[in-house]
Structure 1
Amino acid sequence: MSLFPILPLLLLCLLAGGTAADTELQILLNLKSSLKISTTTPGFESWSSDHSPCNFSGIVCDSTGSVTEINLNGKGFHGTIPFQSVCQLTSLSKLALGSNNLTGDVTADIHNCTKLQHLDLAFNFLTGNVPDLSPLTGLRILNLSMNTFSGQFPWDSLGNLTDLVALRLGDNGGLDPSPFPESVRNLTKLSSLYLSVLNLNGEIPSWIGDLTALVDLEFADNKISGVIPPEISKLRNLYQLEIYNNSLTGEIPAGFGNLSNLVFLDASQNQLSGNLSEIRFLTKLVSLQLFMNGFSGEVPQELGEFRELVNLSLYTNQLSGELPEKLGSWAKFNFIDVSTNSFTGKIPPDMCRQGTMLKLLMLENKFSGEIPASYGNCTTLERFRVNNNSLSGEIPAGIWSLPNVNIIDLTTNNFEGQIDSGIGKAGSLHQLFIASNQFTGKIPPEIAGASSLVSIDVSFNQFSGSIPEGIGELKQLASIDLENNLISGPIPDSLGGCTALSSVNLRKNSISGPIPASIGQLPNLNFLDLSDNKLSGQIPASLVSLKLSSLNLSNNQLEGEVPAAISIPVFNESFIGNPGLCSYDVDFLRQCSSEPESSPARFHTLLVCLLVACAILLVSLTLITISRKRKSDGHNHPKLSWDVKSFRKLTVNENTIIDSIKPENLIGKGGSGNVYRAAVGNGIIVAVKHIPLRPDPEDRGTAAMLGEKRINGSREFDAEVTTLSAIRHVNVVKLYCSVTCEEASLLVYEYLPNGSLWDRLHTCEGEKLGLDWEARVEIALGAARGLEYLHHGCDRPILHRDVKSSNILLDEQFKPRIADFGLARILRSGGGGRDSFSSHVVAGTYGYIAPEYAYTWKVNEKSDVYSFGVVLMELVTGKRPIEPMYGEGKDIVNWVAEELASEGSVIKLVDKKIPEWAKDEALKVLRIAVLCTMKLPAMRPTMRTVVHLLEEVAFGRVIIRLDFKNGSDNKVESRFSVEEKGDEFLNSM
């Protein structure tokens, strides 16, 4: 047969094949453009028209040259996914674009990817509704977790995907609430089911036991209630079960012990009860997390024989009995936390046998006996807390000198003996708490070598000797408490070198000698108690420069005149029991003796009295003039009556405050009033906010249009007083007092000399002075801690509603204070969650207002988180929230998002004033800012998490993941604590 008749056919086939290859090449080049891939991107030089698609990195082809796989996971790409073109790859079976920074929607064009078996779009910023997935019947792996999807998920469409082996949809908290999806029961081939943080409710269905192929089952952080069904015991292949932070009740069901292959079990933070008898059969456990439930009874002794167990958290239950003696002695044990139970007996001795233990947390139980000597050699320990037990004996010497320990807490036991001199080698020790024991001997001078110490509490012991002179070497020391010991000798002058000190308590000792003047040089000192000692001499004049909220010098042998600045009613009881003291102002102290009539002092006193009389006369004439002027204007106002209410220890004269309200003293304009500078005597400067309680008649038209935001000065005043009068936090501005009358109110605050963060970042004068990166990080962290306190540290959460850089004020050392609480609201708390606040007036400042105001009047703490995220963007970029360069109707959040999605380097977002070495850190802070400004409130972290993330940047640690939960000692644990997830966070309690 001749070949000539079939040549055209062969040629046609070749042309058709070339066309298909060209089409696939063009599709991939289109994908390259959408994902902002450049030919200069390392590893992607091959992505050009000069190469075959099968030679592109991340691309796999079949034997015919057709593209079957696109695997670009974790490449850090930005941009959107062109589903319409990608799904024209007719042989495509795998599309993996996870762990990038992709945005946009998953469009309905995904339906055309009918041959897909593997779809991974996890850990991106994809938005919108997930389309119907039922056409993708060949899918074996579907991973859409950790995105920002919204609306109703198409649960019903999953029922057709019966070949699914892995279904991972978790961490999409913006989806509409839904019961546990019924369609999943058809997916009998599933080995991995990840449905955590999906807003699921209802109960765990009994058919869960039919998914017998499951190896990994996770539906944590939802609102699932009811009991754990006994059918779950059919899942004999389960390796990991994560069901924490729901509302589950009842007992661990009978037969649960059949899950003999279980390695990771976390059912913490529920309302489970009953005993742990079923756990004794789970011999392969590596991590057991059952904390914050209602379990009772004893820990099964079989746990002492578990050869793989390295993590055990049972804190905050009602467990009792003794722990197994061999607990943790077989594997490389990581931590134990059995705090807040009723355990008795001894501490298991061998949990650090393998030399890997990080945390020993057994506080608030009834443990007895001595601390096993073996823990003195556990050099890996970071946290050692056994406080509030019935332990006794001496502390093994090695514990005092553990090189990595952050906290030693032995408070409220029956320990005796001495602090070993090796404590000077504890270079990582931040907190030493050994109060309420029977320790004796001297505080060793070597303690000065523990240079990281922040808090020392050795109160209520029997320590003797003197305070070590080297105490001044502890530059990070913030609090020292030596109350109720036998300490003698003088207060070392070097104590004034501990410039971070905020609290000093030396009460009830035998300390003698004078009060060192150097104490008055401590810039942060807020609490000073030297009472019930044998101190003598005069009260140093330097103490008047301190900003004390508490002072107690009573029951000593002090003499001389009490300095006028602290001779104030609120400190009256601070001086009792000192017969040698005198004062002109404190009633129960003897009056200081007057000088002879002809003496210069007497003349000086007369001169002062004369000047005061003249001042009173001048004020009276001024008030008469004002009154006459008002009458001549046709107004018959009543005489103003000023009411002064004090909230902190500061004596002020209302006339001094009132007289400060004049243009030359104006230092700022807040959201609810102007702020003035006022000198109140003794070198003390305060800030005074003037809040009009009635609208200006000239502004009635504007006031009517702006509603309560403009005219309700009284509401803003009440909000600020209610909020700030009860708050005591180093990063929230101090409110000293209020001065009110019928027409206006004045709030007297501490004066912050370095102005606001806005001034430093955005004004010409501030930009000239500059703000280095270290200061920016400290400001971010301090402000975050202030907001964390408002949201999490108060009896009821406080919503600020006007977080912005101009409301973050800076003191002499650039430590930040959250200010201006005129829009604050105290939220209700009940039903196990935080309520929201409903406002029909948009509160806040344009550029900082969270987007939920656009579609709901209900706001909560996450609105403050959004505003704080904008502040972080200001700190990193140096840009204002609103700039013309962003484009019409856009703000800094839009701009940052667009720049991150662009092809250019993200380094260009960082303020040019930030040095090169710090730019990587700056980008980490910017990443936190992006999380804070997520469009959906549910996707934003809490302020507590924000603080932890910023601490990682500040302390040079690596951010691993954003998935945290609180431990019993108020610190943070990663979800899979058994794995190395980076350094733990230190909480200063």
Structure 2
Amino acid sequence: MRRVSSLASPSTMLVLQEFLLLLLFILSLFSVGQSNDLDILMNFKSAFQKSNTNVFDSWTPNNSPCNFTGVSCNSEDSVTSIELGTSNLTGVLPLDSICQLQSLQKLGLGYNFLYGTITDVLRNCSSLRYLDLGFNSFSGAVPDLSTLTQLELLSLNLSGFSGTFPWSSLANMANLSFLSLGDNTFNKAPFPTEVLKLEKLYWLYLSNCSLEGDLPVGIGNLTLLIDLELADNYLTGQIPADIVNLKNLWQLELYDNQFTGKIPTGFGNLTSLAFFDASNNNLEGDLSELRFSTQLVSLQLFENQFSGGVPEEFGEFRNLVNLSLYTNQLTGPLPQKLGSWADFNFIDVSENYLTGPIPPDMCKKGTMQRLLMLQNQLTGEIPANYANCTTMFRFRVNNNSLSGSVPPGLWGLPNLAFLDLRMNQFEGSVTSDIANAKSLGQLYLGSNIFSGELPPEITKASSLVLIDLSYNKVSGSLPSSIGDLQSLNRLYLQNNQFSGSIPSSLGSCRYLNEINMAWNSFSGSIPSVLGSLPALNSLNLSDNKLSGSIPSSLSSLKLSLLDLSHNELSGQIPESLSIDAYNGSFAGNPGLCSSNIQSFQPCSSDSHTVAIRIIVSCFVVAAAVLILSAGCFLFLKKRKKQNQERTISRDSWDVKSFHLMSFSEYEILDSIKQENLIGKGGSGNVYRVAVSDGKEVAVKHIRTNPESKSRRSPAVPKRKTGGFEGELEAEVATLSSIRHVNVVKLYCCFTSEDSSLLVYEYMSNGSLWDRLHTCQKVDLNWETRYEIAVGAAKGLEYLHHGCERPVLHRDVKSSNILLDEFLKPRIADFGLAKIVRASGATKDSSSNHVIAGTHGYIAPEYAYTYKVNEKSDVYSFGVVLMELVTGKRPMEPEFGENKDIVYWVSKRVGSRESVMGMVDPSIPNEFKEDAVKVLRIATLCTATLPAVRPTMRTVVQMLEDAEPCKLISIAVTKDDHVCSANFSRSKTQKERVLMEVEGVEKISSSP
């Protein structure tokens, strides 16, 4: 046998050497690949330097990309996935870098603050299987996506895209199973037939993306769908019959369209359907096709034209939690087992023709929060079970034919905030259980047969804002401790059998706005403390047995209504109340006298005393004039000297820039002089400055406390509790971080020890107030007014919903909406702005109850609480919309003393003629219908109760729906004080709103 040598032959060594060289080459290629991925990811990181996030802490050059937070790699250590959703990223997406990652299959950047446009570079990411850019702030159109043929998931919803979506790109995405494009302002387009060929789709979200026309037959071919959402579009025609083939469907959302016809035959075949919402359409017929939809959790079909009865089978649905059928034409009784099986949450069947009793067991599981059955023909008593429903938040059965006594425990439900039993036939009395109603804010009992005395325990319901006992048979005295209700705003006791004196403790209810005690048997004198109520606007004590004189303290009130008629009052009517506005206010009191009102006998007086009073008054006035003149002279002399001494110096300025600047600080400092002054305000002077590149900027010059010698941060001046420095701090802190086309741009801030300069982009067309109300007024056409409204609304929407934490402006008004050279609006002047805390609200603890805002724009809740939220801005914006539509100022003499534009509009909505008459005469007739649509949105924004008002996101959507020549359906039902409105809802926040003038129901449902 041949012996094998232990030494390798030369040929073997050569092969081994070649193998090692090949291995080194492969390793070098791998190393180069890793290096390239590292460089790309570091470039990616650099694009988000402004982000307030710690996700990039592990992204360092000496670390492997595969160890980066949010990054995944394959077995060859090539980057395959970047998943940084909800990471607080702010910046422009660097697609040039990302699409160089050769192995990248997943890019998840949803729920961030990305902006800018998405370019055609995205085509280079051809290996992507997962692309999520949803919930960002991009702009422009979506580019062609036809090269992304491997996509399985595409999510771009609510990201600011516009223009025409490239639907044809979807034709090549045979593997697409998840498609979410909703809540973008794409151009109107028919439903894309390309979608009907995506047979692997299980999730399709195309709500609020401007689809129009009929929903084509063929949708039933997408048999894998479990979620189909096409809500808030312009879809018409009937719901396709083949939709019943989608047997895996779990959620179907078709609300806010223009669908007609009936629910398709065989709808019960959708045996997996849990959430169905086709509300706010024009559907008709009965609900019998839903009898077999036994898995339903939420059914919302409100604001349609359904008729017939509610199927008895609904009472056997074991999973049903939410049922909303309001504003239809339904008849007959409700199933008595309704809501008795699951953790039932709410029912709203208001505004139908339903009869019979209230189902007794909807709170059987102890989870029900809202029961709304108002404006039907229901009979019988309130079931005793609801007295134990401690989760109940709102209980409204007004405008029915219900009777009997209210179960005692219902008065004292601990979470009940709104109890409305008006216009029924209830009897019995309010029981002492009401002491436990710690959350009760509004108590409506008017127009029933309640009797007995009002228990003193009612004053333990400390959250009460409104009490309405009008038109009943309540007797006895008003509890002397009524003043313990510190938040009480409105008190309606008219047409009862009250007796005894009016408690002086009412003077402690400092937020009282309206008091009506007419047609009772109150006696004794009118408490003088009523004259100290700072918010009192209406006082009606007529048709009682009050005696004594009219307190002179009432003269200090600014009342829109005063009625003391038909009592037993005597003595002189105070001179300040002897005016035309109160004609008839004192009739039926034969003991009264007045020297100014001809219908009363003159009061006897001593002429000598009168003469002395006149002489003394003249002497006092003359002395006051002399003192005032001397003071003004000394003040002006001192001011002139100060202006001469305090000039702008080039020295000792700290500069903080927030945008790229094309000018130097010295250009600004040298231009703060008299000839450039363009305005003066409460917080400083404003100058127009032309800089070297030919542009103009606006500079606000604020003199801060000259006695404060401590150095301040260049970006944020030293904190003060109020005053100009506090406003300056708020404005800088707010504007420095905001990037939005409809919010004024703050370029930079200069600070010194006694001055601050804020440099803004210059708005050449001044403010909206100037263009509507001053000598600079121009006739703005309706298209321009509409664009101003939408742009300003989008600016506020960004502040409320687009910032990391919502920003409350707190001084929204037309003078704070500036217009550029093209009349495009910018929200400005953030001196009162507040950042909302994590709790969702803010309170200015330093204000000492000083109301923030401007008279005429201030929301009414300031009358009884100084807490503010986004809905306060919504109210103020509603006033701006009224200005745009009517051309009137928020306060005009024609509205009446102490009346504003909101009051004026609300009193003129009774008929079409009066509504059209409110539109600015300069608006041509062909646009007046469009203007009325916006006026109706304004009335929703200015609802009395904050919870009634829509969010700014909803306001934007309603305004876009009210674009000239579009229709928005907002119907006003005057008799029941109910407005029903069509509101936009997204997948993350579905809203159904029943708007009321005197009350509100707002129910949000989300699967």
Per the alignment, residue 307 of structure 2 pairs with: 296
Per the alignment, residue 104 of structure 1 pairs with: 116
Per the alignment, residue 4 of structure 1 pairs with: 17
How far the C-alpha of 1:6 sits from its partner, in A, is 2.6
Distance 1:321 1:551 in 2: 46
Per the alignment, residue 49 of structure 2 pairs with: 36
How far the C-alpha of 1:570 sits from its partner, in A, is 2.5
> Which of 79, 102, 110 is the equivalent residue of 1:67?
79
Structure 1 counterpart of 2:157, one-letter code: S
- Deviation track 1:191-232 (CA, whole Å, cap 9, x = no partner) reads 111011111111111111111111101111111121112121
Structure 2 counterpart of 1:440, one-letter code: S
SS of residue in 2 equivalent to 1:799: helix
How far the C-alpha of 1:421 sits from its partner, in A, is 0.6
Distance 2:441 2:586 in 1: 33
Question: Does 2:515 match 1:504?
Answer: yes
> Which of 341, 353, 361 is the equivalent residue of 1:350?
361
Distance 1:353 1:933 in 2: 40
Per the alignment, residue 903 of structure 1 pairs with: none
- Deviation track 1:654-682 (CA, whole Å, cap 9, x = no partner) reads xxxxxxxxxxxx999999xxxxxxxxxxx
Per the alignment, residue 600 of structure 1 pairs with: 608
Question: Does 2:363 match 1:363?
Answer: no
Per the alignment, residue 674 of structure 2 pairs with: none
> Which of 393, 409, 428 is the equivalent residue of 1:417?
428
> Which of 134, 137, 141 is the equivalent residue of 1:125?
137
Preserved CA contact (<8 Å) 2:311 2:335: yes
- Deviation track 1:544-582 (CA, whole Å, cap 9, x = no partner) reads 111101111111000011111111122121111111111
Change beyond 3 A, Cα 1:47–1:303: same
Distance 1:270 1:102 in 2: 35
SS of residue in 1 equivalent to 2:260: strand
SS of residue in 2 equivalent to 1:133: coil
SS of residue in 2 equivalent to 1:464: strand
SS of residue in 1 equivalent to 2:289: helix
Preserved CA contact (<8 Å) 1:761 1:771: no
Preserved CA contact (<8 Å) 2:119 2:143: yes
Structure 1 counterpart of 2:127, one-letter code: K
SS of residue in 2 equivalent to 1:336: strand
Question: Does 2:95 match 1:83?
Answer: yes
C-alpha RMSD of matched pairs (Å): 4.6
Preserved CA contact (<8 Å) 2:885 2:919: no
Preserved CA contact (<8 Å) 2:812 2:873: no
Distance 1:275 1:427 in 2: 42
How far the C-alpha of 1:182 sits from its partner, in A, is 1.9
Change beyond 3 A, Cα 1:88–1:761: closer
Preserved CA contact (<8 Å) 2:55 2:69: yes
> Which one scores higher on RCO, CA 8 angstroms, separation ≥ 6?
1
**What pairs up with 1:403-802 in 2 under 5 angstroms?**
403-595=414-606, 600-601=608-609, 603-604=611-612, 772=847, 782=859, 788=874, 798-799=883-884
Preserved CA contact (<8 Å) 1:511 1:535: yes
Question: Does 2:104 match 1:92?
Answer: yes
Question: Does 2:31 match 1:18?
Answer: yes
Per the alignment, residue 806 of structure 2 pairs with: none
Distance 2:190 2:572 in 1: 73
**What pairs up with 1:335-346 in 2 under 5 angstroms?**
335-346=346-357
Preserved CA contact (<8 Å) 2:45 2:56: no
Question: Does 2:198 match 1:190?
Answer: no
Distance 1:416 1:278 in 2: 41
Per the alignment, residue 379 of structure 1 pairs with: 390
Distance 1:374 1:836 in 2: 51
Change beyond 3 A, Cα 1:404–1:585: same
**What pairs up with 1:137-156 in 2 under 5 angstroms?**
137-156=149-168
Preserved CA contact (<8 Å) 1:582 1:591: yes
Per the alignment, residue 645 of structure 1 pairs with: none
How far the C-alpha of 1:294 sits from its partner, in A, is 1.0
Distance 2:108 2:445 in 1: 54
SS of residue in 2 equivalent to 1:167: strand
How far the C-alpha of 1:22 sits from its partner, in A, is 0.7
How far the C-alpha of 1:4 sits from its partner, in A, is 1.4
Per the alignment, residue 762 of structure 2 pairs with: none
Structure 2 counterpart of 1:390, one-letter code: S
Distance 2:328 2:953 in 1: 37
Preserved CA contact (<8 Å) 1:333 1:357: yes
Distance 1:829 1:103 in 2: 44
Per the alignment, residue 399 of structure 1 pairs with: 410
Distance 2:66 2:618 in 1: 99
Change beyond 3 A, Cα 1:603–1:93: closer
Distance 2:397 2:995 in 1: 12
Change beyond 3 A, Cα 1:464–1:971: closer
Distance 1:387 1:790 in 2: 31
Q: List alignment gaps of at least 5 residues for structure 1.
A: 615-665, 672-701, 717-730, 735-755, 763-768, 810-814, 842-856, 869-927, 941-958, 980-989
Change beyond 3 A, Cα 1:963–1:236: closer
Structure 1 counterpart of 2:27, one-letter code: L
Change beyond 3 A, Cα 1:560–1:407: same
Structure 2 counterpart of 1:24, one-letter code: D
SS of residue in 1 equivalent to 2:526: coil
Distance 1:338 1:119 in 2: 42
- Deviation track 1:831-875 (CA, whole Å, cap 9, x = no partner) reads x99x9999999xxxxxxxxxxxxxxx999969x99xx9xxxxxxx
Preserved CA contact (<8 Å) 1:733 1:818: no
TM normalised by structure 1 equals: 0.68
Structure 2 counterpart of 1:156, one-letter code: S
> Which of 44, 55, 66 is the equivalent residue of 2:67?
55
Preserved CA contact (<8 Å) 1:786 1:818: no
- Deviation track 1:511-565 (CA, whole Å, cap 9, x = no partner) reads 0000000011111111111011000000110111111011111110000111111
Structure 1 counterpart of 2:179, one-letter code: L
How far the C-alpha of 1:600 sits from its partner, in A, is 2.5
Per the alignment, residue 792 of structure 2 pairs with: none
Preserved CA contact (<8 Å) 2:454 2:479: yes
TM normalised by structure 2 equals: 0.66
Distance 1:266 1:937 in 2: 22
Change beyond 3 A, Cα 1:579–1:930: closer
Distance 2:191 2:374 in 1: 38
Q: List alignment gaps of at least 5 residues for structure 2.
A: 1-11, 623-680, 687-765, 781-809, 814-827, 835-843, 861-869, 893-897, 925-929, 942-950, 964-985
Distance 1:786 1:162 in 2: 49
Per the alignment, residue 851 of structure 1 pairs with: none
Distance 2:103 2:338 in 1: 54
Distance 2:899 2:571 in 1: 38
Change beyond 3 A, Cα 1:556–1:608: farther
Percent identity between matched residues is 47
User: What count of residue pairs does the alignment treat as equivalent?
Assistant: 737
